[in-house]
Homo-oligomer: A and B are copies of this chain.
Amino acid sequence: MDDKRILSEVSALLDDLTKPKGSLGRLEDYASRLAVIQGRVPPRVRRKAAFVLAGDHGVVSRGVSLYPKEVTAQMFANIMAGGAGINVLSRACGFDVFVVDAGVDADLPDYPSGGADGKPRYVPMKAVRGTKDFTVEPAFTENEFLQCLHNGQKLADLAVREGYDIVALGDMGIGNTTSAAAVLAGYGFDPDLVVDRGTGIDDAALDRKRALITEAVAARGPYPTPESVGAAFAGPEIATAAGVILGLKGKGVACMLDGFPITAGAVIAWKIDPSVTDYLFAGHLSRVKGHRPVLEALGLEPVVSLDMRLGEGTGAVIGGFIVELGARIAGEMSRFSDAAVSKASGEEKDF
């Protein structure tokens, strides 16, 4: 069915729900977007998945983070054990957690595949053992980068196969806001807009970080393709996120972005195929300074704005829960045509 017909059907349904026209605001927009994505009226949400993509970043050797690289593997273990922020919020918001080794620079333990009793599922797909330091050479070889995109495609296929209607993408990787900023600078975003101070960095350190990125963008070019920017600067989780997004095209699945690093991955996908924004939602607006201008470039309005900057998909699952509410009102509310409730002649609301 074409999008126009779906839109007109879902709009007729929303106006028949027992409420003043338009009074559920953005929940109604989410219902409409889900209907178009799925080609179904009303839309449905059977299962929701959170893919937590983990990887390491060569640029960490330049001292861009206060955390040592080892924390990536430690947090991986913490998420597998169910104790991280994303575990708590996924349980609350109804998401199944998949913990993906997209390119951690460590030999991870032989985790069980998980999935039973709400336990996180382990997905080993290490494309690299961390990236190279992009300030001295490209982060990925072309093949490594394509492998990340391919791994993302496999995750998208898994989501489709298992009946997930909403996929939330989260990132975990020490140093990844720096890689994300470099990716965006590589695509022409103003470094002043996308290089973040974080909470602990002083003016001199901020200048140094910005200079590192600006010099690297000049040194790694030219960039004949959108992929060449990704290969030069992305991290494993950022590139894999781009692959998931590209892989979900035309599959009827909505994709929730998390914060700054995942949104940089979305920009890679969007530069490769601008139509991906049709099924992307910005789960939240992060406190990371560069997030807002990048969402604006993508034309995405964040669902919530809770001043968070944890990553892991924590903002994506909260936003995904609220987007799902759109499907639920469309599918579950009673209708004027069935219930004994008088409809207003106009659109004024007063109940």
Measuring CB to CB, which residues of chain A are less than 8 angstroms from any residue of chain B? 17-27, 64-68, 70-72, 74-75, 77-78, 81, 83-85, 87-89, 91-92, 172-178, 198-201, 287, 304-312, 314, 318, 321-322, 324-325, 328-329, 332-334, 339-342, 344-351
Chain B residues in 8 Å Cβ range of A66:
344-348, 350
B67 touches A340 (CB 8 A): no
| Interface of chain A: mostly helix, strand, loop or mixed | loop
Given A25-B287, A175-B350, 15 more pairs with CB closer than 8 A: A17-B85, A18-B78, A19-B85, A20-B199, A23-B309, A25-B309, A66-B346, A66-B347, A74-B340, A75-B351, A78-B334, A172-B351, A200-B344, A306-B322, A321-B321
B308 touches A77 (CB 8 A): no
Chain B residues in 8 Å Cβ range of A178:
350
Chain B residues in 8 Å Cβ range of A333:
83-85, 87-88
Number of identical protomers: 2
Chain B residues in 8 Å Cβ range of A309:
20, 23, 25, 349
What is the distance, in angstroms, from A92's C-beta to the closest C-beta of chain B? 5
Complex partner residue of A325 from B68, B89, B173, B340, CB under 8 angstroms: B89
Complex partner residue of A348 from B85, B201, B339, CB under 8 angstroms: B201
Specify the chain B residue showing the minimal Cβ separation from A26.
B306
A349 touches B310 (CB 8 A): yes
Q: A70-B342, A81-B334, A177-B350 are in contact. Are A314 and B24 (CB under 8 A)?
A: yes
